[in-house]
Structure 1
């Protein structure tokens, strides 16, 4: 898993950006605050989503995804705070392969992780994903396609437009290791 701090413009820019991805990109670099203080942006997302807790120490990848979907007017799982809840087909459509803007769901020790697929790395062929709580921040990360249990479509339509399966190939990236806890 790798975090990206630079991405070049891609061919996807010829299509209108998905609302939830546009919202996600606005927060690249946002970090949680360790200790008794908390990032007020993350706390604001929790309040808007009607969470019963108000700290950024609780894993917040699902919070980030729910916030982005909510901002775009897209429905999200009832238990949005649980990464594995995003596999629920009552809210999204399970895809056979990743598409630009889909929610990628993976299991990990102690729970799961969710993020948005935004491309494929030119050098490694891995998926480039934009997510929250990746090394305690919103950033891009590289994952093998096989790391994920499911790719889910949350959108105004039940399926992504066909061109969204043609993932943009991204290059010119700098990466560091990512933790999801």
Structure 2
């Protein structure tokens, strides 16, 4: 089963079996009243206790229709007050820890400017009433989530599974999401109940889940995955193995979103079911990264610079214009503040990614000079070796910043560096130890070793 599931049914009786099946977190509902179709939709104290007893974390979403079927009047100012007050009543009754999140559903594809403005008072009231006690999440389309996050009215964006809804694909590509409801109506392996499976964006420390005592952070990678889009116009075959000689399992049409779990040469291991296991292989030539990325397959004893060299072989570079390279967004996701456009300086995010892939701890900062300022590792400026981390001050008359990369070689006046954001790509470039390159002056601050 998926690690993060959402479900409108009481699953307390199945809590232990869910945990045994690999579930880590269950997203349940708050509402005003249950319906005859969903008589146990609202989370109860008994169910919450059963879930926590099975070591499952919980997240909650408020939904009482939520504007579904075009009923936008559900999302007005008065209902914002009513829904927020009810959510807070339930949160108090269930002892939901402060600092965790309450999501509010916008269960329809509202995309017109007039519609978004009409909904704004709803979230203004919800934000006012939740105050600093709870994080505010928005469930809905990419357009809805991005709009309210931009207004400061959403901390988390939970993308509904409808990829045709406005702005959703764009939000995925930009990394501007916390949860994505990727797998719809999946059947329990041990009961006639269906759930939705979700992917977590590891750019965030949490999606607002909690246990008995506190809001929780998410272990890196939990519930997360790399997403790819099929770009073969006539569709793409899923094969039983990493070669054209293996049998075709099924063909998937253009624009299908699939989950990557690993790579063997030119072939991507693809998880269709979303249960964490590979269902077959697709040739990566016909897959375009949508969000995140796959780690390179390297020896277990790899060093950070080995990871960097593998990334350089991939030809990672910025994409001109508005699109972002999802792999650079992934580098940013390893640092505080999470994902960011590929135009955001990414040399430190790249080094952090490589260091973490080698099993070490970086600075968790997008600031290049953090490696020097925080005295990361040991100072080896006097006797550097291949793969050490070089930190420069970079400045001109208008700006003061830095650059960080991996040491490759040096002469009396310069250092050959392997790094990200060097010529807008992962590359080898030579930087002066104390001198000018292009519009900037560089000065070596230190060379660090783990």
Shorter-chain TM-score tier: 0.5 to 0.7
Q: TM-score, normalised by structure 1?
A: 0.66
- Are 1:77 and 1:88, in contact at CA under 8 Å, matched by a contact in 2? no
- Are 1:95 and 1:152, in contact at CA under 8 Å, matched by a contact in 2? yes
More relative contact order in 1 or in 2 (CA 8 Å, sep 6+)? 1
Structure 1: stretches of 5+ with no match in the other structure: 1-16, 156-181
Per-residue CA distance 1:59-83 (angstroms, 9 max, x = gap): 00001100000100111114x2100
Per-residue CA distance 1:28-87 (angstroms, 9 max, x = gap): 131111221000111122234463342111100001100000100111114x21001001
DSSP 3-state at the match of 1:100: coil
Asked if 1:26 is matched to 2:310, the reply is: yes
Asked if 1:152 is matched to 2:442, the reply is: no
- Are 2:334 and 2:352, in contact at CA under 8 Å, matched by a contact in 1? no
CA distance in 2, matches of 1:108, 1:50: 22
| Count of residues in correspondence between the two structures | 136
Give the RMSD, CA atoms, in angstroms. 2.4
Alignment CA distance shift 1:118-1:18 (3 Å): farther
Paired residue for 1:45? 331
CA distance in 2, matches of 1:96, 1:52: 30
Alignment CA distance shift 1:102-1:130 (3 Å): same
Matches within 5 A, 1:9-158: 18-28=302-312, 29-49=315-335, 51-78=337-364, 80-89=365-374, 91-97=376-382, 98-109=384-395, 110=399, 111-120=401-410, 126-146=414-434, 147-153=443-449, 155=450
CA distance in 2, matches of 1:54, 1:36: 12
Per-residue CA distance 1:103-125 (angstroms, 9 max, x = gap): 1100112310001001236xx87
Q: TM-score, normalised by structure 2?
A: 0.28
Structure 2: stretches of 5+ with no match in the other structure: 1-300, 435-442
Alignment CA distance shift 1:44-1:52 (3 Å): closer
